[in-house]
Chain A
Amino acid sequence: MASGKIIVTVAPTGGVGTKQANPALPTQPAEIAEDVIRCCEAGASVVAVHARRPDDSATCDPGIYQDINERIRKGCDIVINNSTGGGPTGEMVGPITAGGEPTGDLEMLWSERVKGIEAGAEICTHDAFCANTYAPDGGVVMMNASIQRSRELAQAMKEKGIKPEWECFSVAHMLDPIRLIEEGLDEPPYIFNFVLGAHRNIQAAMPWSPKTLVAMVDELPKGSVFTVSGIGPAQMPAAMGAVICGGHVRFGLEDNNYYSRGVLANNLQLVERLVRQVRELGYEPATPAEAREMLGVPRKPSVN
């Protein structure tokens, strides 16, 4: 809590949620931009964008990302993060093959995921691990980032001047990022996002607990900045855990659909509650300019 400023990231959409589960979920470019601009006015300084096709299925299509990013930049100067995870639906998903033959198992296609870096985002997520995810239809979809793939993506980000956000669902997911950092593929400040409580959707993701968070904070390389994304009912306690450990917070419908038990939330409500809590604790939400400074992210030239 060095500077007294907390970076609030809004994650408005995600790759998994549906309007059926929460009608307030923004999925189309205009909806997302409108929601993000409101959240920025309420104190969010970073947005974690996921893109969707017109049929709401997940995509990393740079054309759609670009459309969303431009609409957001027209309305505010929030720092833009585009996902290279996409989601477990639509064109993101394809068969795992062996010797050219489908094995019957599915993965989030690497060739689709890496398109996420082509749309002019200042930060992109980098999930440098392998994990099985459970799709909404009950199927299993592999997220498969070997060290070779992770290195390739880190190099591509470095060439484009994109900051990687190292996304970690457990302490083990920090190991490849640390290795790539040691290889010189990222510079301080290193941005880590600890996603806690996703164990219902991702195999071996750690449930939220203060102890788990402390263990992950202990593994951070010197010069890191971290944010915490608490999933579902873990959202509020994980946010408080992050702040008292000197970190930052991600909030939004990507991570949690509910304001309280049985009461659906919208993104603005979640950001407003978080900002209230940040202020009660004696801190202020960082502005986008302050967040850029803290995250080591230069302002992108306007895309207009």
Chain B
Amino acid sequence: MADGKVIITIAPTGGMGSKEMNPHLPTQPEEIADDVFACYEAGASVVAVHARRPDHTATCDPDIYRDINDRIREKCDIIINNSTGGGVTGEMVGPTKDGHLEILWEQRIKGVEGGAEICTHDAHTIVGSFNGKNITVATPPNACRELAIMMKERGIKPEWECFNLSHMQDPLLLIKEGLDEPPYIFNFVLGASKGFQGAAPFSLKVLQSMVDMLPKGAIFTVSGIGPAQLPAAMASIICGGHVRVGLEDNMYYGRGQLATNLQLIERLVRQLHDLNLEPATPAEARELLGVPRAKAA
């Protein structure tokens, strides 16, 4: 809680949720932009954007990302992060030569072409299980490096997304190779074990072990999945980190009670105030994250 400012990231959409699961989930560019603006006004300073096709399936299509990004930037100066993970449906998923399903690398890397200031970098290989299907997110070391280089060339900050301690290893290697500069941005996603093999459940102990592994000059945020969202947010703050909330990570406000993105942000801001902390503004978040203001699209 270094300077009393906490960066709130809103993750409004994600790559897995559907309007059937929660009718408040924004999936189309205008819906997303409207929701993000409301969250920005309530205290969010970063948005983690996932794009969807008009049929709501997942995509990393730069044109759709650009449409969403432009609409958001017309309304506010929130920092924009575009996912290079995409999601588990539609054109993102395809068969490998041996018949397994994977999230296609050539689709994922399109995520860096939409003009975002930050892009997620999942520098690990993991198997997701959704609707009875196993889908591999394959990011071997050479692919990790390739994506880090692409981001560096475009002046995009990588957000190293880690579902467990071992997912920090490749980011640390790439940082050593000079492919990122401080502040290094880590996102610890905890409690995703239902969907992803080997993802760590949330506990303060798990989080502390990941914090202990951070390189000097790192900044971290925590994304708690499902019921872990609330305790993980508090845990992040008391460990000196920042917080991501939103329907990407958690559909519920309370047990059985569907949430909206704005409700989740408003609750977090109330909690911060009771902890004598303030949400960072986008300008303060840029400073903390080392992200320059993007040029107008």
Contact of B204 among A236, A245, A276 (CB under 8 A): A245
Report A109 CB to chain B, min CB distance, Å: 38
Residues of A close to B274: CB separation below 8 A: 236, 273, 276-277, 280
Report B91 CB to chain A, min CB distance, Å: 38
Mask, A201-240, CB within 8 Å of B = 1, is 0000000001101100010000000000000000011101
Interface residues of A in 93-136 (CB under 8 A from B): none
- Bound Cα distance A94, B229 (Å): 52
> Could you tell me if A260 and B276 are in contact, using CB atoms closer than 8 angstroms?
yes
Q: How many residues belonging to A are interface residues under a CB distance threshold of 8 Å?
A: 22
Q: A241-B238, A243-B234 are in contact. Are A236 and B275 (CB under 8 A)?
A: yes
Interface residues of A in 1-24 (CB under 8 A from B): 1
Residues of A close to B212: CB separation below 8 A: 211
Q: What range describes how many residues of B lie at the interface? A: 20 to 34
Contact of B276 among A214, A261, A281 (CB under 8 A): A261
Q: Does A172 contact B (CB under 8 A)?
A: no
> Could you tell me if B254 and A282 are in contact, using CB atoms closer than 8 angstroms?
yes
Report A91 CB to chain B, min CB distance, Å: 38
> Taking chain B's interface residues, is the majority helix, strand, or loop, or is none over half, making it mixed?
helix
Residues of B close to A281: CB separation below 8 A: 230-231, 234
Closest to A1 in B: B231
Contact of A210 among B239, B267, B276 (CB under 8 A): B239
Q: A237-B237, A282-B254 are in contact. Are A211 and B231 (CB under 8 A)?
A: no
Q: Does B235 contact A (CB under 8 A)?
A: yes
> Could you tell me if A214 and B231 are in contact, using CB atoms closer than 8 angstroms?
no
Contact of B231 among A236, A243, A260 (CB under 8 A): A243
Residues of B close to A213: CB separation below 8 A: 204
Q: Does B295 contact A (CB under 8 A)?
A: no
Report B224 CB to chain A, min CB distance, Å: 10
Report B198 CB to chain A, min CB distance, Å: 22
> Could you tell me if A237 and B230 are in contact, using CB atoms closer than 8 angstroms?
no
> Could you tell me if B238 and A214 are in contact, using CB atoms closer than 8 angstroms?
no
Contact of A240 among B237, B267, B270 (CB under 8 A): B237
Q: Does A244 contact B (CB under 8 A)?
A: yes
Q: A214-B204, A261-B276 are in contact. Are A240 and B254 (CB under 8 A)?
A: no
Report B194 CB to chain A, min CB distance, Å: 19
Contact of B235 among A210, A238, A261, A280 (CB under 8 A): A210
> Could you tell me if A277 and B271 are in contact, using CB atoms closer than 8 angstroms?
yes
> Could you tell me if B267 and A244 are in contact, using CB atoms closer than 8 angstroms?
no
A-B contact count (CB 8 A): 55
Residues of B close to A240: CB separation below 8 A: 234-235, 237-238, 275
Closest to B255 in A: A282
Residues of B close to A276: CB separation below 8 A: 274
Residues of A close to B271: CB separation below 8 A: 277, 280
Residues of A close to B234: CB separation below 8 A: 240, 243-244, 281
Contact of B208 among A210, A238, A260, A261 (CB under 8 A): A210
Residues of A close to B239: CB separation below 8 A: 210
Residues of B close to A260: CB separation below 8 A: 276
Q: Does B297 contact A (CB under 8 A)?
A: no
Report A182 CB to chain B, min CB distance, Å: 25
- Bound Cα distance A263, B239 (Å): 24
> Could you tell me if B267 and A237 are in contact, using CB atoms closer than 8 angstroms?
no
> Could you tell me if B235 and A237 are in contact, using CB atoms closer than 8 angstroms?
no
> Could you tell me if B254 and A280 are in contact, using CB atoms closer than 8 angstroms?
no
Closest to B1 in A: A237
> Could you tell me if B208 and A214 are in contact, using CB atoms closer than 8 angstroms?
yes
Q: Does B97 contact A (CB under 8 A)?
A: no
Q: A210-B208, A280-B267, A280-B271 are in contact. Are A244 and B276 (CB under 8 A)?
A: no
Q: Does B216 contact A (CB under 8 A)?
A: no
Interface residues of B in 190-216 (CB under 8 A from A): 204-205, 207-208, 212
- Bound Cα distance A280, B238 (Å): 16
- Bound Cα distance A211, B209 (Å): 9
Residues of A close to B1: CB separation below 8 A: 237
> Could you tell me if A244 and B235 are in contact, using CB atoms closer than 8 angstroms?
yes
- Bound Cα distance A276, B273 (Å): 11
Residues of A close to B205: CB separation below 8 A: 214, 218
- Bound Cα distance A214, B235 (Å): 12
Q: List 28 A-B contacts (CB under 8 A).
A: A210-B204, A210-B239, A211-B212, A218-B205, A236-B275, A237-B237, A238-B238, A240-B234, A240-B235, A240-B237, A240-B238, A241-B235, A243-B231, A244-B231, A244-B234, A245-B204, A260-B276, A261-B276, A276-B274, A277-B274, A280-B267, A280-B274, A281-B230, A281-B231, A281-B234, A282-B230, A282-B254, A282-B255
Counting from the closest, the 5 A-B pairs by CB-CB distance are A244-B231, A237-B238, A240-B234, A260-B276, A214-B205
13 further interface pairs, Cβ-Cβ under 8 Å (given A210-B235, A277-B271, A280-B270): A1-B231, A210-B238, A210-B239, A213-B204, A214-B205, A236-B274, A237-B238, A240-B235, A240-B275, A243-B234, A244-B204, A244-B235, A280-B271
